[in-house]
Amino acid sequence: MKISNTLIEKYHNQQCSAEERGVVEQWLFSVDEESEELQLPAREDKLLHKQMMWDDIKSIMISPAARQPPDKKRYSALNWKNGIAASLLAGLILFGGYSYYSKRNNPLPLTYLTNSSTVKVKNVTYTTYNVSLGPMTKATINNLTGLIDFTGSLLISPKEDLLITFEGSNEQMMFKMGQTYVVLSGKTVNDRIIIVNERNINDLPPVIQQQLLQHFNI
């Protein structure tokens, strides 16, 4: 079941079935540092939007002065419940904010990914695919056109069939759900782009395989 704006609204209005409620709560309380980051378009100030969101939260929160002194016995339970409520609210607003940007910036915004580490791999999870960035990799993903401009090395695992084009390559390639693809690209215009299904890695030249072993341990 996918998390949607409608589902969040149903949850907020307490109209969800037990299954739907479970899905929403799992989504809200899941802690995954590598999961969806809010990707803003170029020139948008992240801090400014963050402040706007917190202002929105404050406007609907009960002011401290209006609160009654809490019953000592129920204090911890109330705090816990307030925490949950605040988390839900923050989640709702963040999701709303994301949807707002998605709609406002139609076509969908570009996603900028950078891994400046010289040794570590950076993993990022999106709704439609997971991507692992090899060391020293920069990528710009146009989520509307499926165009990826990057230098370095990527592993892409689509969660649904995706048509992707890589900058410098004229061909649109079908990336199949459930399979993993290795993509390598150099910095200069003379560098070729290598795209290969992970299951065919043994067909790559050994020197490229060695590089993948070093980067991704595959």
Partner 1 sequence: MIFLQLFNSNCCSTLIYKALKSTTTMIKSAKTAVLFINLLILILFLTSCSDQPRQVKNKYSLFILAKNGKNYMLETNSLASGKLIPEATGVSLEKVELDRDIIVKEGFYYSKDWKKPLFTKYKITNGVIEKVASVAAADFSLENFYWLTGDTLLLVGNNDSDFKKIKYILVKTEQMTILDSGDLNIPKPPGKYTSIANGIVEMRKDRLFIGYTYHQQLSSSNYTTSDTTYMAEFSYPEMHLLHIDKDTRSTYPGGLNTVQNYSFNDEQYNFYFMTCPGIALGNRPDRPTGIYRIKAGDMAIDKEYFFNLSAPIKNHSYGMWYLGGGKALVRSERKDLYKGLNDHYSTAHFEFYLIDLKGKVVQKLNLPLDKGTRRACVIVEGNTAYIAINSSTAGNFIWLYNYKTGSLKKGLELGGSTDFIMRIDQLNHF
Q: Using CB under 8 A as the criterion, which residues of the chain lie in contact with partner 1 when the complex forms?
A: 134, 137, 151-153, 178-179, 184-188, 190-197, 199-200, 202-208, 210-211, 213-214, 217-218
CA distances from 141 to 1, 2, 153, 188, 213 (A): 25, 22, 14, 19, 25
Residue with Cβ nearer partner 1 (140 or 211): 211
Residue with Cβ nearer partner 1 (10 or 138): 138
In whole angstroms, the minimum distance from the beta carbon of 210 to partner 1 comes to 5
Residue with Cβ nearer partner 1 (76 or 197): 197
Residue with Cβ nearer partner 1 (107 or 186): 186
In whole angstroms, the minimum distance from the beta carbon of 141 to partner 1 comes to 17
In whole angstroms, the minimum distance from the beta carbon of 91 to partner 1 comes to 36
In sequence order, the β-bridge partners of residue 48 are: none
The pairing of beta strand 110-115 with beta strand 147-158: unpaired
In whole angstroms, the minimum distance from the beta carbon of 174 to partner 1 comes to 12
In whole angstroms, the minimum distance from the beta carbon of 211 to partner 1 comes to 7
CA distances from 48 to 11, 19, 28, 51, 142 (A): 28, 36, 24, 5, 23
Give the list of residues 6+ apart from residue 184 with CB closer than 8 angstroms, or none. 152, 153, 154, 193, 194, 195, 208, 211
Tell me the C-alpha distance between 204 and 101, whole Å.
Answer: 41
Q: Is the dihedral of CA 14, 19, 22, 23 positive or negative?
A: negative
Residue with Cβ nearer partner 1 (30 or 188): 188
The one-letter amino acid code at 132 reads S
